[in-house]
Amino acid sequence: MISTAVRTPLFLFLAALALPGCGGPGGSGRPESPSEAKMFENPVYDANFPDPFIVRKGATYHAYATNNDEANVPTLRSEDLVDWREARDAMPELGSWVTPGKTWAPEVLRREDGKYVLYYTAASTEAGRQCIGHAVGDAPEGPFVDRDEEPFICQAEEGGSIDASPFVDEDGTLYLFWKNDGNAIGRDTYIYVQKMSPDGLELVGEPTRLIKQDAGWEGALVEAPLMWKREGRYYLFYSANAFYDETYAVGYATCEGPLGPCEKASENPILKTGNGAVGPGHVAVIEDGAGETWVAYHAWPPDAVGSTYPGRTFRLDRLVWKNGKPMVEGPTEARQRAPAPL
């Protein structure tokens, strides 16, 4: 989703800009006084926008979410991370291998050549499972085109493959993280990682299992991986438990490198139900104009859990770091200072 960072896909290639899931400080050159600071309160988008992910290009943030009734890949645009306006479907035409209707958790990588790769989950007609595909576009808003005749990753024997998340390390090496959808068939779930080719379109080597569901709060699954690098350390954020109720929450593990090994934090979960947000999860990490980190995530309103309206709303809270540990100052429902401007 770092002051001196390089992060995941979002920002390493956006180094000249600033967002592991990766930036440099920006801003006006003078700090705002408390009286000048913009304020906001959650949710920042009070409508269905599950599994959010954010990429920045120039002075504009682009957010992506799981499909709705109108779009395969719904998108929003913002200049400040708190005032969002609806934008176009980033992928109006799905790959030929897809049965429409279940396009989940899109994330986007900016390549060195200026093109963008969108990784998405969809139903494979042949496999009968959710699998991962990728599509290429010339701009963060798309349109993205998937020219493949089969999924990019599809572990049908492990329940399928979902929640792909790209990460680019300081040396330029690309990695892809994802989850096998084992809970769909009563099996274990793992967070996998594998190196990718420089264009982000081919896998290199063999996949590595990093973590699985083995803590009480995680329930039957772990999912929604996001790697972030800060001050030379690797942090693997993930969500766990049942997305449709109050048990869904977010934890993290520290890793020796993108390929692991990883150790889960003893203080997990670091984001859980409270303050008007039920089942918060699927975080994206983003930097503001002052280099502060924030987490974007979805959560149900307390009086509408499991409903299609408003659904899982889009929220934003500050991510602080204490003694090398990430801490989410949230969920919040009170007014607070907005992210620093670019």
Report whether 7 contacts 285 (CB < 8 A).
yes
Structural domain range at position 288: 39-337
Q: Is 28 among the domain residues?
A: no
Report whether 318 contacts 330 (CB < 8 A).
yes
What burial class does residue 324 get, using C-beta atoms within 10 Å of its C-beta: 0-12 exposed, 13-18 middle, 19+ buried?
Answer: exposed
Q: Is 19 among the domain residues?
A: no
Look at residues 48, 47, 75 and name the one whose alpha carbon lies nearest to residue 62.
75
What does the radius of gyration of the chain's CA atoms come to, in whole angstroms? Answer: 18
Q: Is 14 among the domain residues?
A: no
CATH of the domain at 184: 2.115.10.20
Q: Is 4 among the domain residues?
A: no
Q: pLDDT 10s per residue in the chain (342 long)? A: 333 333 334 333 333 333 333 333 333 334 455 557 899 999 999 999 999 999 999 999 999 999 999 999 999 999 999 999 999 999 999 999 999 999 999 999 999 999 999 999 999 999 999 999 999 999 999 999 999 999 999 999 999 999 999 999 999 999 999 999 999 999 999 999 999 999 999 999 999 999 999 999 999 999 999 999 999 999 999 999 999 999 999 999 999 999 999 999 999 999 999 999 999 999 999 999 999 999 999 999 999 999 989 999 999 999 999 999 999 999 999 999 999 999
Q: Is 18 among the domain residues?
A: no
Look at residues 122, 223, 121 and name the one whose alpha carbon lies nearest to residue 180.
223
Q: Locate 115 and state its tokens.
A: 């093109």
Cα separation values, 151 from 59, 126, 161, 202, Å: 34, 10, 10, 12
Report whether 12 contacts 113 (CB < 8 A).
no
- Overall domain count for the chain: 1
Q: Is 9 among the domain residues?
A: no
Q: Is 6 among the domain residues?
A: no
Q: Is 13 among the domain residues?
A: no
